[in-house]
Amino acid sequence: MLKKIASYFRKDPLPILPGEPHTIPSGDHPISPRQITSGAKKVVEQLVSDGYEAYLVGGCVRDLLLGMQPNDFDVATDATPEEVNRLFRRARIIGRRFQIVHVRMGKEVIEVTTFRASHTAEHKGRDQSRRSSKGLLLRDNIFGSVTEDACRRDFTMNALYYHPQDNSVFDYADGLSDIQQRLIRVIGNAEERYREDPVRMLRAVRFAAKLGFRIEENSARAIGKLGHLLADIPPARLFDEVLKLLMHGHALATFRLLREFGLFKLLFPATEEALSKDPGYYLEFLEQAMTNTDKRIRADKRVTPAFLLGAILWPAVLERRKAFESGNSSPVYALQQAAGEVVHRACQRISIPRRFSMPMREIWELQLRLPRRAGTQASRLMENNRFRAGYDFLLLREDAGEIEPGLGEWWTRFQEANEHTQEEMTSNLDQPKSRRRRRRPRKRSSAPQGDHD
């Protein structure tokens, strides 16, 4: 397929003028209008019929050229967000830093963006861009032409525009050539583009993992130099990027690339510290967690971010728990204190919502409760809303060698057994003894003394 695309690209023998695209007409590329959703077609047709330019753009065009089915379709147009919003009944403008319009067509949501212009250009009556002192774009709503918009795209492979009405592809940045070479290349000066938006470094890694491409040399070198700029990105935005990185079926490849480029330690510093202390088990555990997540996603099984984030932070929790266990603290107290500190630190870098952080901590705490199965405890544990996730987490720990095998198999059999067999399985179990803490004699003091419960 890629060689065929390259041959299409080389068919045009005429020199291309600066700013003009390579045009690949219908029949000279593998995309068919039948592959485009009806919602995306309708949005483009409506914009064009009202006198605007409109194209499918970016990742959807790239994926179609690669023979992949896009997850969604994006449209680029010279209509402003306000004009798009007026044109479609079920549309709304979102974002301040980068305004886009979501147009709903049935169950499908089409993201419509207005052509962006260079930051140095002056456009009367248009919003101007604003930057931080470090060059980070704080606002980016300068509108321009399709040629300017192509130059503002992040990677060459994403500066591809497709017109479904005449089935033509327009390549403004030699993106077809880079696709053929399986390269991810930043458009323009890589350092300058990363300074504008450091998240582009994460996007480069995500695409490399998803597509199996290499990051072009200059684009890769700049990541190693400027990765620290991710600290300037709001934690809430970084959390969204982490989900895109790890919850799309390529978590293992992404994890390895993030560590290769030194970006993982910027997202999860406590986990990276734990890896440096015990790279054997912790690395095995994390890679097994990523592998299992990828398998579930590719099998269309449900995956919760709480489970994967819990796995990523677990090495940090184990390391921090050691500090509390060295005293007279109970295992439960040590785990709770370690979990609280680790989650707090993680949220300073990536803002994990409570709807994920609370289940994550419950999964961790279940690891102390699952060994307690005597009497009716096993049956009561199975009624816990987080039991299944806690059980899967236990199996993950066994597979990675953190704990001796056997407990996971017992729970597997217990879930499959009838009530009579379950009673037999629990009747002969020895209840794990809790570690009793020796009370220290009270010291006379004006302040009350006592142990933590």
Secondary structure (DSSP) of 251-291: HHHHHHHHHHTT-HHHH-HHHHHHHHH-HHHHHHHHHHHHH
Mean pLDDT value across residues 23-52: 94
Same domain? 269 vs 130 = no
Asked if the structure places residue 258 within a domain, the reply is no
Q: Which residues on adjacent β-strands are paired with residue 101? A: 93, 112
Residue 446: pLDDT band (50, 70, 90) is: very low
Question: What is residue 96's predicted lDDT score, i.e. its pLDDT?
Answer: 74
Asked if the structure places residue 206 within a domain, the reply is no
Residues 6+ apart with CB under 8 A from 143: 78, 80, 114, 115, 116, 117, 123, 126
Q: Answer yes or no: is pLDDT of 312 > 70.
A: yes
Asked if the structure places residue 191 within a domain, the reply is no
Calculate the dihedral angle through the C-alpha atoms of 411, 413, 416, 417, rounding to the nearest 10 degrees: -110
Q: Answer yes or no: is pLDDT of 447 > 60.
A: no
Extract the tokens encoding 114.
Answer: 């207005």
Which one of the listed residues 63, 140, 154, 294 is annotated catalytic? 154
Query: Which of 16, 32, 46, 62 minimizes the C-alpha distance to 161?
Result: 62
Sign of CA dihedral 368, 371, 374, 375: positive
Exposure on the CB side of residue 179, measured as CA atoms within 13 A = 28
Residue 124: pLDDT band (50, 70, 90) is: very low
Asked if the structure places residue 132 within a domain, the reply is yes
**In degrees rounded to 5, what are phi and psi of residue 163?**
-105, 110
Please name the residue that has the structure tokens 């994990």: 352
Same domain? 13 vs 139 = yes
Same domain? 290 vs 385 = yes
What would the pLDDT profile of 56-83 be if each residue is shown by its tens digit? 999 999 999 999 999 899 999 999 999 9
Please name the residue that has the structure tokens 């995956």: 303
Question: What is residue 435's predicted lDDT score, i.e. its pLDDT?
Answer: 44
| CA dist., res. 420 & res. 403, Å (int) | 29
Extract the tokens encoding 95.
Answer: 């974002």
Residue type, 371: P
Q: Could you tell me what percentage of the chain is helix, strand and coil, using 3-state DSSP and rounding each to the nearest 5? A: 55, 10, 35
Extract the tokens encoding 194.
Answer: 């990363």
Q: Contact 65/176 with Cβ under 8 angstroms?
A: yes
Mean pLDDT value across residues 266-278: 95
- 183-184 vs 54-57, strand pairing mode: unpaired
What would the pLDDT profile of 383-393 be if each residue is shown by its tens digit? 999 999 999 99
Residue 3: pLDDT band (50, 70, 90) is: low
Asked if the structure places residue 247 within a domain, the reply is no
Residues 6+ apart with CB under 8 A from 203: 154, 155
Domain boundary among 181, 206, 229: 181
The CATH number for 346's domain is 1.10.3090.10
| CA dist., res. 390 & res. 404, Å (int) | 17
Asked if the structure places residue 131 within a domain, the reply is yes
Question: What is residue 21's predicted lDDT score, i.e. its pLDDT?
Answer: 87
Question: What is residue 329's predicted lDDT score, i.e. its pLDDT?
Answer: 76
- 74 is a catalytic site residue: yes
| CA dist., res. 23 & res. 29, Å (int) | 10
Asked if the structure places residue 193 within a domain, the reply is no
What is the number of other CB atoms lying within 10 angstroms of the CB of residue 171?
Answer: 27
Same domain? 161 vs 276 = no
Residues 6+ apart with CB under 8 A from 256: none
What would the pLDDT profile of 194-215 be if each residue is shown by its tens digit? 999 999 999 999 999 999 999 9
Identify the residue with better confidence: 272 or 6: 272
The CATH number for 46's domain is 3.30.460.10
Q: Contact 166/63 with Cβ under 8 angstroms?
A: no
Residue 279: pLDDT band (50, 70, 90) is: confident
- 430 is a catalytic site residue: no
Question: What is residue 127's predicted lDDT score, i.e. its pLDDT?
Answer: 47
Q: Contact 346/270 with Cβ under 8 angstroms?
A: yes
Domain boundary among 118, 147, 181: 181
Q: Answer yes or no: is pLDDT of 177 > 90.
A: yes
Q: Answer yes or no: is pLDDT of 122 > 80.
A: no
Q: Contact 267/238 with Cβ under 8 angstroms?
A: yes
Residue 9: pLDDT band (50, 70, 90) is: very low
Question: What is residue 431's predicted lDDT score, i.e. its pLDDT?
Answer: 56
Calculate the dihedral angle through the C-alpha atoms of 47, 50, 52, 58, rounding to the nearest 10 degrees: 10
- 453 is a catalytic site residue: no
Residue 328: pLDDT band (50, 70, 90) is: confident
| CA dist., res. 295 & res. 55, Å (int) | 35
pTM of the model: 0.85
Residue 12: pLDDT band (50, 70, 90) is: very low
What would the pLDDT profile of 280-294 be if each residue is shown by its tens digit? 899 999 999 999 999
State which residues form the domain around 108.
2-181
Mean pLDDT value across residues 121-128: 46
Same domain? 68 vs 171 = yes
Reported as type and span, the H/E element at residue 327 is none
**In degrees rounded to 5, what are phi and psi of residue 216?**
-55, 150
Question: What is residue 287's predicted lDDT score, i.e. its pLDDT?
Answer: 97
Question: What is residue 437's predicted lDDT score, i.e. its pLDDT?
Answer: 38
Same domain? 173 vs 276 = no
Question: What is residue 444's predicted lDDT score, i.e. its pLDDT?
Answer: 37
| CA dist., res. 233 & res. 350, Å (int) | 9
Q: What percent of the chain has pLDDT over 70?
A: 85
If 0-12 CB within 10 Å is exposed, 13-18 middle and 19+ buried, where does residue 260 land? middle
Same domain? 28 vs 161 = yes
- 137-139 vs 160-163, strand pairing mode: unpaired
Same domain? 135 vs 269 = no
Question: What is residue 451's predicted lDDT score, i.e. its pLDDT?
Answer: 38
Same domain? 140 vs 285 = no
Query: Which of 118, 123, 113, 119 minimizes the C-alpha distance to 131?
Result: 119
Domain boundary among 181, 203, 236: 181
Same domain? 402 vs 304 = yes
What would the pLDDT profile of 413-445 be if each residue is shown by its tens digit? 999 999 999 999 998 776 555 444 343 344 433
What is the rounded radius of gyration, in angstroms, for the C-alpha atoms of the chain? Answer: 27
Query: Which of 98, 99, 140, 102 minimizes the C-alpha distance to 121?
Result: 140
Asked if the structure places residue 213 within a domain, the reply is no
Mean pLDDT value across residues 88-101: 89
How distant, in Å, are the alpha carbons of 62, 382, 387 from that of 365? 44, 14, 11
Question: What is residue 19's predicted lDDT score, i.e. its pLDDT?
Answer: 64
Count of the separate structural domains present in the chain: 2
Question: What is residue 75's predicted lDDT score, i.e. its pLDDT?
Answer: 97
Same domain? 15 vs 162 = yes
| CA dist., res. 85 & res. 434, Å (int) | 63
Q: Answer yes or no: is pLDDT of 361 > 80.
A: yes
Extract the tokens encoding 45.
Answer: 């047709």
Residue 317: pLDDT band (50, 70, 90) is: very high
Same domain? 40 vs 176 = yes
Question: What is residue 83's predicted lDDT score, i.e. its pLDDT?
Answer: 96
Q: Answer yes or no: is pLDDT of 123 > 90.
A: no
Question: What is residue 126's predicted lDDT score, i.e. its pLDDT?
Answer: 46
**In degrees rounded to 5, what are phi and psi of residue 170?**
-120, 120
**In degrees rounded to 5, what are phi and psi of residue 185?**
-125, 130
